[in-house]
Amino acid sequence: MPKRKSRDNLEYLSKKIRKLERKIRRKTRGLSSSSSEEPPREREDENLEEELSVIDVEQSDPTIETSQQLIESNDIMSLGEPSTSASIAVAPDVTEPTLDKDIMDILGCDPTIDTKYGKDINSDLAIRLQHYSTVGITKEGRKDLCEKYLIPSNCKLIDAPLLNAEIKAALTDIVAKRDKYIENRQKQLATTLSCLSEALSLLFSASTKDTKLIKLIMDATRNLCDCQYNDSVTRRNFILSTLKKDMKEQLQNTKLSNFLFGDNLLETIKAAKAINRSGADLKASVPLPKPIQNKNKQISGSSKNWKASFPPKKPPGPGASKTKESALPPRSRPSTSYKQSQPRPNNTRR
């Protein structure tokens, strides 16, 4: 156990050094005292020399590797802990060479970066937008915005299209509720489009036109219009998945208007029915397949070895004779009247 032994020796040496320091302090204080105290000082000097000799002997022990470093160190409190600075190897600094711009262009963009962000906006604006995006607006605030920015009279198609009455009658409650939810969301988008269109109209009528600002608002308006169209297509697909296949193709060809499936849906349905009937009439008649005959079943008269099928035999019992008689044809049955007419033989002896 060399490490444990060296640690014990270091603790012992630190205690010795502290003790020697205390004695040295007392000795320095006693230098200014009277000459009567010389004999004890001599004895103290002798004790100090003995202790120092003991420390020198212990330092000569090969198991103690860092004793000289402990004596030369100024920090006495750190002598009780083993020094590990000598055992730690300092790794050389390796700096990677920076790649040129041409090489970086060859390597391409960093694939670990998933999203790219644009320029920073105003901090106060960013706080409010992030709050509305994560918390939302209250029901009263949403209602006030819809009442404040109404749909323009000359741009009614930006509003959410209504569901046709003929289609609504054929839907289940779950599909109808889902369609109503998407319709309410489309109404909010229509309110936003009305607000942006009003802002664009003000910019158009201004004396100095800021083209950069107009372009930004127009890009936002175009994107919202596309979202409105995609929501309408989603509503149509959800509804068509619950209807008959014969009607799907004709309903898909209808154009969006104030209603989800066009204005003249009734005529579209009639046309779809007429097309289905005419298509059924034009189809070629397919001959029905012949019934497959059982090979094990033999037809009567087709073979000389044909035998009629008899009823299954019943086990004999008390009623076996009756069943046997009933199975015979009527001519072979014995007449009951003949049995009753015959007299019984007289077996009595005279």
Q: Same domain, yes or no, for 55 and 147?
A: no
The per-residue pLDDT for 32 is 54
Query: Residue 27 — φ and ψ, nearest 5°?
Result: -65, -40
State which residues of the chain have pLDDT below 50: 1, 34-37, 40, 57-59, 62-88, 337-339, 350
The answer to whether 63 and 5 have CB atoms below 8 angstroms apart is yes
**Among 249, 280, 311, which residue terminates a domain?**
280
Q: Is residue 67 part of a domain?
A: yes
Q: Same domain, yes or no, for 197 and 70?
A: no
Amino acid code (one letter) for 15: K
The per-residue pLDDT for 4 is 55
Three-state secondary-structure class, residue 17: helix
The per-residue pLDDT for 164 is 92
Q: Same domain, yes or no, for 152 and 259?
A: yes
Q: Is residue 120 part of a domain?
A: no
Q: Is residue 10 part of a domain?
A: yes
Q: Same domain, yes or no, for 257 and 168?
A: yes
Q: Is residue 62 part of a domain?
A: yes
Cα Dmax for the chain: 185
Amino acid code (one letter) for 49: E
Q: Cα–Cα distance between 186 and 231 in angstroms, integer? A: 7
Q: Same domain, yes or no, for 149 and 268?
A: yes
Q: Cα–Cα distance between 47 and 213 in angstroms, integer? A: 95
The per-residue pLDDT for 272 is 79
Q: Same domain, yes or no, for 263 and 160?
A: yes
Q: Same domain, yes or no, for 56 and 161?
A: no
**Among 80, 102, 129, which residue terminates a domain?**
80
Q: Is residue 248 part of a domain?
A: yes
The per-residue pLDDT for 225 is 96
Q: Is residue 302 part of a domain?
A: no
The per-residue pLDDT for 62 is 46
Domain count, the chain: 2
pLDDT digits (tens, 9 = 90+) for 246-304: 888 888 888 999 999 988 888 888 887 888 777 776 776 667 777 776 655 555 555 55
**22 is written with which tokens?**
């205390």
The per-residue pLDDT for 314 is 64
- How many residues are present in the chain? 350
Q: Same domain, yes or no, for 66 and 153?
A: no
**53 is written with which tokens?**
């000799």
Tell me which residue of 131, 187, 123 sits closest to 158, measured CA to CA.
Answer: 187
Q: Cα–Cα distance between 217 and 30 in angstroms, integer? A: 93
Give the range of the structural domain holding residue 70, as residue numbers without chain letter: 2-80
Q: Is residue 304 part of a domain?
A: no
Q: Measuring CA to CA, how many Å separate 114 from each of 105, 117, 202? A: 18, 10, 39
**Among 241, 261, 280, which residue terminates a domain?**
280
Q: Same domain, yes or no, for 164 and 257?
A: yes
Percent of the chain's residues with pLDDT above 70: 61
pLDDT digits (tens, 9 = 90+) for 146-163: 999 999 999 999 999 999
Q: Please give, one letter per residue, the 3-state secondary structure of 260-320.
A: CCCCCHHHHHHHHHHHHHHHHHHCCCCCCCCCCCCCCCCCCCCCCCCCCCCCCCCCCCCCH
Q: Is residue 311 part of a domain?
A: no
